[in-house]
Amino acid sequence: MRDYIIRRVLGMIPLILIVMIVSFGIFSLVPNPFAALIENPRIKKADIQRLIKAWGFDLPWYLRFFKWFSGVIRGDWGPSLLYPGSTARDVISRALPVTVRLMGIEFLVSIAIALPIGIISAVKQYSVTDYVVTVISFLGMSMPTFWFGLLMMMLFSVVLKRPSGMPLLPAGGFITPGLEEAPFWAKLGDRAQYLVMPVVVLAFSSLGGYARYMRSSMLEVIRQDYIRTARAKGVPERSVIYKHALRNAMIPIVTLIALSVPGIVGGAAITETIFNIPGMGSLIIQAETKADYPTAMIGLMLSSVLVIAFNLVADIVYAWVDPRIKYS
């Protein structure tokens, strides 16, 4: 097992390198952002030329890649084009915690709700509970987040008000200005109220998928002969479900969950935009459209590394929950 992990980790290095080259290559297809400045009569041609040279846009993309890459190995990801004066790393490290907080909570909330309802709707297949859960799951999956988000805002920020006349929940943002340096608990409470709506919107859209997976996996297992064997030896029904069936039904689910973790850093561009949250999703899209390749590359590399790493995690967890899987 240890050898297997070492081998897989070593195998990641060339893979990540390839991902870097390919994504950098695709980025170079974005037109040179400084070329457009030529239209502006108030900027000197010489200044434009200097900018182009400083950013390396006079070089072919592969030479620019080597220039960028030699910085990356030294930990220098380059300056941000989008936010002049900041490095790309600083820009990312401002957005990342905001997104991880939102998406992490959303992830935990949706799994904590989805798995139990998936189990219940499988155990009580075709019951009223099952139908209600199924309808709600599909509703969540098919409702656009921007629309549901706006509906939530109308209800909780416009219609419902606190006695003070303030909206019940803030319509957007992620922290009340001025509270950045407040004591821990005050800050926590403040952040929580900003998170309620986006977390609900995102969780509602993703929990249906997990619940359906859990339900079908559980249904598959409940039909198995060994479940009948468990009943035939007098195992109480609770134990039949939560010990004998669940352990087997979880095998595909843990893989699914492990593979979903990288999504936490990717952010949710639409929801972030609706709720005016300066997270990774909206940042990366802006960076990409404005040819801010140093910033966008960090985002891309972060996602790629996590996807590759969590594939390994999924394989390891898989072997851990299913004794039939052995790596050598």
Partner 1 sequence: MDNREVLVDIKNLRTFFYTEDGVVPAVDGIDLSIHRGEVVGLVGESGCGKSVTALSIMRLIPNPPGKIIGGEIFFHGKDLLKKNEEEMRMIRGDKISMIFQEPMTSLNPVYTVGDQISEAITLHQKIDDVEAKRRTVEMLHLVGIPEPERRYSQYPHEMSGGMRQRVMIAMALSSNPELLISDEATTALDVTIQAQILDLMRGLQKKLGMAILIITHNLAVVAEMAETIAIAYAGKIVENASAKEIFKSPRHPYTYGLLASIPKFTEKKTNEPLPAIEGMVPSPYHMPKGCRFNPRCPFATEKCREEEPEILELTPGHLVRCFHPIES
What are the residues binding partner 1 (CB under 8 A)? 224-226, 228-237, 244, 247-248, 251, 321-324
Smallest distance from the beta carbon of 220 to partner 1, in angstroms? Answer: 13
| Closer of 74 and 324 to partner 1 (Cβ) | 324
The C-alpha atoms of residue 154 and residue 167 are separated, in whole angstroms, by 10
DSSP assignments along 239-266, one per residue: HIIIIIIHHHHHHHHHHHHHHHTTHHHH
| Closer of 51 and 235 to partner 1 (Cβ) | 235
- What type of residue sits at position 24? F
| Closer of 146 and 226 to partner 1 (Cβ) | 226
Smallest distance from the beta carbon of 323 to partner 1, in angstroms? Answer: 5
Smallest distance from the beta carbon of 209 to partner 1, in angstroms? Answer: 25
Smallest distance from the beta carbon of 1 to partner 1, in angstroms? Answer: 16
The C-alpha atoms of residue 99 and residue 96 are separated, in whole angstroms, by 5
Residue (of 288, 215, 281, 278) closest to 250 by Cα position: 215
| Closer of 66 and 242 to partner 1 (Cβ) | 242
- φ and ψ of 77, to 5 deg: -90, 5
| Closer of 141 and 321 to partner 1 (Cβ) | 321
Smallest distance from the beta carbon of 312 to partner 1, in angstroms? Answer: 22
| Closer of 152 and 230 to partner 1 (Cβ) | 230
For residue 95, the 8-state DSSP code is H
Query: What are all long-range contacts of 230-238, with beta carbons under 8 Å and residues at least 24 apart?
Result: none
Sign of CA dihedral 108, 110, 113, 119: negative
Contact yes or no for 18/1 (Cβ under 8 A): no
Smallest distance from the beta carbon of 238 to partner 1, in angstroms? Answer: 11
